[in-house]
Structure 1
Amino acid sequence: MWTILFLCLAIIFLGVIWVLNRKDVKLTWYEWLIGSLGILILGFAVQNFFGSFSEAEPKAAWTFAWVFGIPALVLIALAWQLAARRVKRA
């Protein structure tokens, strides 16, 4: 499970870098940090969600989804908005 999850995360990360290079967008260090942290936390949440369901613990699975998944999505959206607003201003 971890191998597949991190392989998917690596493909997504490389895809983001490829799109940014094609559009000639340069991100600041804190946008990279916030986005990467959000993606890692999201991966942690997804793995624990499916792991808890496989152990027949649906309440724990949904708790992981809410406690770690929502903040991860907020961090990813924050990084995206910071970059979009900076590019729009320029």
Structure 2
Amino acid sequence: MDKKNALRVGALAAGTTLMMLLMSSPALALTRDDGDDPGTGLSVIETLGLFVVAPIALFAVIAGLVVVLDKSHKQKDTTSSNITTQADAKA
């Protein structure tokens, strides 16, 4: 890619980002829509449990199931590293 095309791509990306920022209005988030019924907020403990502890626990459960249900460890490895050679037997 030459310098001219790189400048074009950069200008297009910057322009697109600027337009998206200008068109999205965060002030509209303060006005409630009809039918909004927000519940009570989460406490710090609830938030940490939901967004930190729960994903870690889910990962641990899935990893544990994979390790426990893995069938490949039952297969015999028939490579030469498991076979004792005559040189080893004499020693």
TM score, norm. by length of structure 1:
0.31
The structure with more helix, counted as a fraction of residues: 1
TM score, norm. by length of structure 2:
0.31
Larger RCO (CA under 8 A, 6+ residues apart): 1
**Greater Rg by CA:** 2
